[in-house]
Structure 1
Amino acid sequence: MRNFGETIRHIRTNRGIKQNELYTDILSKSYAIQFEKGLHDISFYLLLQILDRFPMEVDEFLYLHRDYQESESSWFYSSIGKFGNHNDLAALKKFKQDYLSKYPNSEHQEERLLQIDFRVEQLTFYYATGEIVGGTVEPQIKEDIQKLLRNIQAWTMEDYRFFCNVMDLVDIFDMPQYFKLLLNSIDQYKDFEDGKPIICTLLINGMTKLIFSNMLEEAVKILPVLNDFTKEINQMFYRNYYFFFKALVSLLKGNQDAIAKANRTIEIFRDLEYEFHAEIADRILKEILSEADIQN
């Protein structure tokens, strides 16, 4: 991979910007020349100043720097999400080999391989029994994942993603404490647009687990947070989930008129061709109605 300076030079020349226009009051002429040749590094602070002159966001710069490729984290989580959500066991097993081949020396290899192994264990059991249950996972995988969760000190996006993928292994009686910690830290990311899909997915998974564990009081605490994170127009997909869970909570409190509202959100998923999510929401609603002995 080329040096940051070489990427900056590529962007600068493509946009017809002269060196003195870009580097004045940031780098000396001689240092800028060496930087663009890949012979000198600069601080992140100076890199931000240079990018601001284009202007260009850091995420876009890194995307260009990687030759229009996703980061390791983005590639990993988009892939495991795609194969896992479609219950594609063969693709998940292949993905594990692809990951090891593409990132053999990754600093995050341990936790990412654990996430793949966990999902493979779940799907293997699912194909054999028709159910997905955390208790069927190999004890060593479960122990390693729970150890990693316990060692998290300050929650970041990477930690949110990890927790979201392994939530089924968290003891239901520990869930309130985890979400108490999470809800305190999540608020700091309310203006971080790139993180909202991750946080929304985490909240949706948490709502599902808490509702099915008859912990309605805890689920209700998550609902207003999901509401706050889904008010922008680019969050419409997650907004529909918010209204789905709002209807479920109302239904569980005895309001049978909420059934129609829940069904409407399922139809919206179908109209938008999110068939997988329509099926998941429909299954959740039917199980709740069945347990409550209510006709849909």
Structure 2
Amino acid sequence: MEHFGETFRQLRTYKGMTLKYVTQGITSVSLLSKFERNECELTFPNFNKLLQRINVTLNEFMYIHNQYTRDNFKEFVALLRQQYTQGNVEAIKNRLNQEIENSDDLIDSRLNIIMIKSILADLTGEPVDIGDIEYLTNYLWSVEYWHDYEITLYGNSLHILPVDSVILLSKEIFNKGHLYTRLLNYRRDMYGVIFNTIRICIKKGRFDDAQYFLNMINNSKPSEQFILEKMLCKFWHGILLISSGNHEEGINICNNFLSFLQITESHGNYTLHSNYLEETIKKHEQKTH
């Protein structure tokens, strides 16, 4: 188990729990003692029970074991999101070149490269190769239940897919991810995917489909823990109003959301959404003149 024993011993002793107490009804004292000295391994079910005994989740354990850093993929995505919000095209291109140089024959290697290309395409308008689009689409449909990886991959790449594929895949998102909808971060990522879908539908003039996905979020009744997502629903409602001709009401709703971002000092989000609002207003004015 990758020498997890030393980390487990650290957590157990921090909590003041003895070997005898922790192992009761799970395993032997001698076996856990050997595990903590990295002299043997434990079965996953027993390891999980021991973590529950010391009141530490598996995610917390891995975070501590990895020296208080997230796993490589989460760090990789977090950095890409930061660079995207900053509009740092050069940094994203450098990361793409690094991934290509270090690529192998594994599926996730190619998928990660496609995801970076997709993020670049959203900033620069450069097209993504049709072969990559087909590879991504086939992979997403082939996976029966999406995990965190698939949600993240799709959420950052859906804008390069044909709009009909996006609509079909996004309508399935709660089915493909239903095993994890009670997990806060996973559900937040799912909402993020649906908001991206709404943006794509509006861009393609599919306003009824955009409204469908907005209703999907509202009907899921997000709790107060999702305050940003609830506010984003208001913003996209405003964008849809502007697009359908209710110009003044839509702008007021969107500006209320932008004020919320200013108050919370969400500078990156403020820039992204204020720019999007300006572009929407310009498009509407061009249609009416």
TM-score bracket relative to the smaller structure? 0.7 to 0.9
In the alignment, structure 1 residue 271 sits paired with structure 2 residue 280: no
Aligned partners of 2:277, 2:183: CA distance in 1, in Å? 32
Query: 2: distance between equivalents of 1:152 and 1:186?
Result: 11
**Contact 1:164 1:202 (C-alpha < 8 Å) held by counterparts:** yes
The one of 241, 252, 257 aligned to 2:232: 241
2:185 is the alignment partner of 1:194: yes
Q: AA paired with 1:34?
A: K
Structure 1 SS opposite 2:63: helix
2:169 corresponds to: 178
Q: Extract unaligned runs of 5+ from structure 2.
A: none
The residue that corresponds to 2:217 in the other structure is: 226
**One-letter amino acid of the counterpart of residue 258, structure 1:** G
Q: Distance in 2 between the 1:118 and 1:175 partners?
A: 14
Q: Per the alignment, in what secondary structure is the counterpart of residue 143 of structure 2? A: coil
Change over 3 Å in CA distance of 1:78–1:272 after alignment to 2: same
Name the residue aligned to 1:213. 204
Q: 1:166 aligns with which of 157, 163, 174?
A: 157
Aligned partners of 1:47, 1:100: CA distance in 2, in Å? 37
Uncovered stretches (5+) of structure 1, i.e. residues with no partner: 127-131
User: Given the alignment of the two structures, is residue 26 of structure 1 paired with residue 26 of structure 2, yes or no?
Assistant: yes
Identity across aligned pairs (percent)?
17
1:99-178 superposed matches below 5 A: 108-120=108-120, 123=123, 126=124, 132=125, 136-178=127-169
Q: For residue 23 of structure 1, what is the amino acid of its counterpart? A: T
CA distance in 1, matches of 2:238, 2:197: 16
Please tell me the residue identity of whatever aligns with 1:151.
S
Task: Quote the Cα distance in structure 1 between the aligned partners of 2:221 and 2:97.
Answer: 36
1:204 equivalent in alignment to 2:180: no
Contact map agreement 1:48 1:58 (CA 8 A) in 2? yes
**1:118–1:137 contact (8 Å) kept in structure 2:** yes
Matches of 1:168 and 1:35, distance apart in 2: 47
Q: Is the deviation greater in 43-52 or in 114-123?
A: 114-123
Compared CA separation, residues 105 and 233, structure 1 to 2 (3 A)? farther
Matched, 1:84 2:84: yes
**Deviation per residue, 1:59-114 (Å, 9 max, x gap):** 11111111212112211211111112222122223434666899989873221122
Letter in 1 for 2:194: L
- If the length of structure 2 is used for normalisation, what is the TM-score? 0.85
* SS class of match (1:55): coil
| Secondary structure of residue in 1 paired with 2:172 | helix
The alpha-carbon distance between structure 1 residues 97 and 64, as it changes in their structure 2 partners (threshold 3 A), is farther
- Structure 2 partner of 1:74: 74
Structure 1 residue ranges, 4+ long, deviating more than 6 angstroms after superposition:
97-107
- The secondary structure found in structure 2 opposite 1:231 is coil
- After superposition, the Cα gap between the structure-2 partners of 1:173 and 1:102, relative to the gap in structure 1 and judged at 3 Å, is closer
Normalization by structure 1: what TM-score? Answer: 0.84
Distance 2:176 2:141 in 1: 16
For residues 8 and 99 of structure 2, what CA distance do their matches in structure 1 show? 29
1:37 aligns with 2:37: yes
Maintained 8 Å contact 2:155/2:192? yes
Between 282-291 and 172-181, the greater mean CA deviation after superposition: 282-291
Change (3 A) 1:179 1:118: closer
DSSP 3-state at the match of 1:108: helix
**1:204 positional shift:** 1.3
CA distance in 2, matches of 1:52, 1:63: 16
- Compute the displacement of 1:2 (Å): 5.0
Contact 1:63–1:69 (CA under 8 A) maintained in structure 2:
yes
Whichever residue aligns with residue 22 of structure 1, its letter is: V
Contact preservation (8 Å) 1:190, 1:229: no
CA drift of 1:19 comes to: 0.3
Residue 151 of structure 1: how far off its partner (Å)? 3.0
Rounded Cα–Cα distance in structure 2 between residues aligned with 1:206 and 1:235:
18
